[in-house]
Amino acid sequence: MIEQKMKIKVLKQLAGLIVGAGCLLGGYLQVEAQSLIKSTIFENQLMAGKHSNKTTTSSKKTVAAKKSASTQKTATKKSSSTSKETPRKSKATKTKSSAATMPVTVNYHRGEGNESATLSQNYQKYHLYNHVTDSGYFTYYYNWNNVPAAFKRRVYVDARAVKKTTGTTWYRIRFAKAAKAQKYWVYAKALTFDEVKYVPSTQKIKIKHGSYALRSHVYNSEDLSLVKGSAKSILNRTYKANQEAVKFHSKGFTIWYRFRWHSKNVWICQQAVQLL
């Protein structure tokens, strides 16, 4: 009986120890579980925070990119608008279109191309044009400041135009000797040609030098001239002049004689002939 009671007491003590150990183990497990849960929750929150930050950063970048694109578009529009509002200045200035009125008859006369004149003292009172005014073409003028112009500046002349209604004369000029240089039409009073005085003549002449040209007018005169033939083709022949011209230039003067050749008047300089 006593032994039975001792056994029961020992078993109760063991049971108490087991229960205490269980409680301790359970508490430990509960603490570990709570710690694990908290750790998991924290990690989940941290990951959620990172994702939220990434999303916010990405959103901010997207907004910034949109703002940048919008700013660039606005700047482009402003630049385009500015370029439209500020056109380039043209060297040519349009005048009232001569095509708006009835064009007048203009007679054109071609020159050899290498004859020259100088700009007159009052050349700036007149304009440089792309065509003779009122000739039926759309005309505009150029500013003298855009060409190498100056008083007594030599220019090259290759054509002459005369308006039938007014009788006014125009010349086509260029500022370089090259035939392909830009050409302009200008009113005659803007130019000064070498002075030429004409007198009737009955002087007999003999062609002695064949290296000279037969011309339609006195060379470098306001009429302009074309080569009609060569003195070589009529060498040693005698002709009677019907007009004489004295042309004054910077180095002195030159005498020219006009005579009939193939039923037309031609001019030859004194250096090519012998007076009889």
pLDDT, residue 250, reads 85
Q: How many CA atoms lie within 13 A of 87 on its CB side?
A: 3
138 phi and psi angles, rounded to 5 deg: -75, 120
Residue with tokens 């930050």: 53
Please tell me whether residue 233 adopts helix, strand or coil conformation: helix
Domains of the chain: 92-192 (no CATH), 195-275 (2.30.30.170)
- Three-state secondary structure call for residue 69: helix
CB contact burial 52-66 (16+ within 10 A = b; e otherwise) = eeeeeeeeeeeeeee
pLDDT recorded at residue 257: 97
* pLDDT the model gives residue 41: 41
Can you give the three-state secondary structure of 242-259, one letter per residue?
Answer: CEEEEEEECCEEEEEEEE
User: Does the pTM exceed 0.85?
Assistant: no
Measured at the alpha carbon of residue 206, what is the angle toward residues 230 and 275, in degrees to the nearest 5? 125
Give the count of alpha carbons within 13 A of 273, CB side only: 25
Token pair in block for residue 189: 């009073």
Q: How far apart are CA 58 and CA 56, in angstroms?
A: 5
- Tens digit of each residue's pLDDT, the chain (276 residues): 555 555 555 555 554 544 444 433 344 434 344 444 444 444 444 444 444 444 334 444 443 444 444 444 443 443 333 333 333 333 555 544 444 467 889 999 999 888 999 999 999 999 999 999 989 889 999 999 999 999 999 999 999 999 988 899 999 999 999 989 999 999 999 999 999 999 999 999 999 999 999 999 999 999 999 999 999 999 999 999 999 999 998 889 999 999 999 999 999 999 999 999
Q: What is the pLDDT of residue 93?
A: 58
With beta carbons less than 8 A apart as the criterion, state whether 248 and 195 touch: yes
Quickly list H helices, the chain: 2-85
Return phi, psi of residue 254, to 5°. -135, 140
- Residue 231: closest CA among 211, 215, 254: 211
Q: Which residues pair with 192 in a beta bridge?
A: 118
Alpha-carbon gap, residue 221 to 192, rounded angstroms: 10
Provide the pLDDT for residue 165. 85
Q: What confidence score (pLDDT) does residue 89 get?
A: 36
Amino acid (one-letter) located at 215: R
Contact 257, 230 (CB under 8 A): no
Q: Which residues of 94-117 are buried (b: 16+ CB within 10 A; e: fewer)?
A: eeeebeeeeebebeebebbeebeb
